[in-house]
């Protein structure tokens, strides 16, 4: 009887054991079929136990993600951050420069003399020069974005402000800066040309607006340049807008960056070369006693090209008004040789000197 009981007990125990094993196997099978949810970073970061192919996939994805993030940051910086910083920098100075615009107008026809300090500086430059003594002027062209301080470095570092703002901090926009050879206080008898440089930024800032001045409608909207130095407010009438090369392989180089001239003949021959190159014949006369400013910026028709705007100072007692209806497109524009090689045609024939052109009656801008 006892043996029969033990035998039955053993059988029951075996059946229970078989049931437990089946349950464990079923659980293990279920565990294999249910996917394990891993942390999101495990999909991007190579991990111990990953196959070689998986490691390569994750590595490529990580590199692509880094490139995307860096590119996105650079794009935002290029299109948003840097332009905003450049605008803020300029606007900070504008608030100072224009804070008393009524008493410091640059108009040459105003009967009220501009306010000056004991040293002869215009009052509106006093605070600016406390910020940076290299601020030597202000240039503005109505109906354009051009409205900037003019900086000037020394002849030892003439392009110091090419990539720096008035705080001397790096910026791709740089500053509008005066040729280091120029002295705004020097008598006009010996120095008759002040040269201003500025970048032509693709977003339209700095001197980019100059690129369009060969178009008649643009010129007519803005025939005047306002350029005040620290001691001398003045307006300037545009007399020429031209394109020029800076490398000899594109044609003979015209030295438009002259600041001093030997005599009146040397000066008038320079003006003659400036005007026969102009895309627009402006209705502004000229005489040897006139002083000019030259605005130069990079142009992109050819490597190293420049767009140049030249303007002469409004004379004492002369009206600032320009009869732009009299302006005409120049039918005989003298371009560099590379222009004709690319666009066809040939260079027009002009006498080689101002005196010869005048004798032949080709000069209609000579002041009587």
Measured at the alpha carbon of residue 65, what is the angle toward residues 64 and 67, in degrees to the nearest 5? 65
Helices marked H in 192-326: 216-221, 264-276
Count of alpha carbons within 13 angstroms of residue 288, beta-carbon side? 12
Copy the structure tokens of residue 185.
């206080």
Q: What helix, strand, coil percent values describe the chain, rounded to 5?
A: 35, 15, 45
Q: d(Cα 244, Cα 334) in Å, to the nearest integer?
A: 9
| Residue 66 designated active-site | no
> Residues 6 or more apart from 97 whose CB is under 8 A from it?
124, 125, 128, 138, 149
Cα separations (Å) of 344 from 251, 254, 265? 15, 21, 34
Two structure tokens written together for 363 = 């000069």
**Residue 23 to residue 27: CA distance in whole angstroms:** 6
Cβ-contact 110, 87 below 8 angstroms: no
Q: What angle do CA 60, 61, 67 make, to 5 degrees?
A: 90
199, 211 contact by CB (below 8 A): no
Selecting among 66, 182, 298, 338, the annotated active-site residue is 298
Helix (H) or strand (E) holding 79: none
> SS3 of 236, please?
strand
Exposure string (b/e) for 344-365, b if CB count within 10 Å is 16 or more? eeeeeebeeebeebeeeeebeb
Which are the catalytic amino acids? 298
């Amino acid at each position: 009887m006892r043996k029969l009981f033990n035998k039955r007990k053993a059988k029951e125990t075996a059946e229970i054991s078989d049931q437990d094993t089946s349950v464990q196997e079923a659980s293990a099978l279920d565990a294999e079929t249910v996917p394990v949810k891993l942390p999101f970073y495990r999909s991007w970061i190579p991990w111990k136990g990953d196959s070689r192919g998986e490691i390569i996939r994750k590595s490529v994805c990580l590199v692509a993600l880094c490139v995307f993030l860096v590119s996105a940051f650079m794009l935002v910086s290029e299109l948003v951050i840097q332009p905003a910083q450049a605008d803020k920098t300029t606007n900070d100075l504008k608030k100072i420069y224009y804070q008393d615009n009524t008493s410091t107008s640059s108009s040459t026809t105003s009967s009220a003399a501009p306010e000056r300090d004991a040293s002869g500086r215009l009052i509106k430059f006093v605070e600016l020069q406390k910020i940076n003594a290299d601020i030597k002027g202000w240039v503005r062209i109505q109906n354009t974005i051009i409205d900037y301080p003019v900086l000037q470095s020394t002849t030892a570092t003439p392009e110091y402000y090419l990539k720096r703002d008035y705080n001397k901090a790096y910026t791709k926009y740089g500053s509008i800066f005066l040729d280091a050879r120029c002295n705004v206080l020097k008598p006009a008898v010996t120095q008759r040309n002040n040269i201003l440089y500025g970048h032509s930024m693709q977003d339209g800032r700095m001197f980019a607006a100059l690129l369009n001045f060969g178009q008649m409608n643009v010129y007519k909207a803005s025939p005047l340049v306002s350029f005040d130095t620290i001691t001398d407010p003045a307006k300037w009438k545009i007399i020429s807008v031209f394109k020029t090369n800076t490398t000899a392989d594109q044609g003979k180089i015209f030295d438009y960056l002259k600041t001093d001239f030997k005599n009146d003949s040397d000066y008038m021959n320079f003006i003659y070369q400036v005007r026969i190159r102009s895309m627009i014949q402006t209705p502004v006369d000229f005489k040897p006693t006139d002083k000019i400013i030259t605005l130069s910026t990079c142009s992109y028709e050819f490597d190293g090209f420049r767009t140049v705007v030249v303007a002469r100072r409004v004379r004492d007692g002369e009206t600032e008004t320009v009869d732009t209806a009299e302006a005409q497109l120049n039918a005989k524009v003298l371009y560099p040789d590379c222009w004709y090689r690319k666009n066809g045609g040939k260079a027009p024939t002009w006498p080689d000197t101002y005196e010869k052109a005048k004798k032949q009656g080709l000069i209609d801008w000579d002041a009587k």
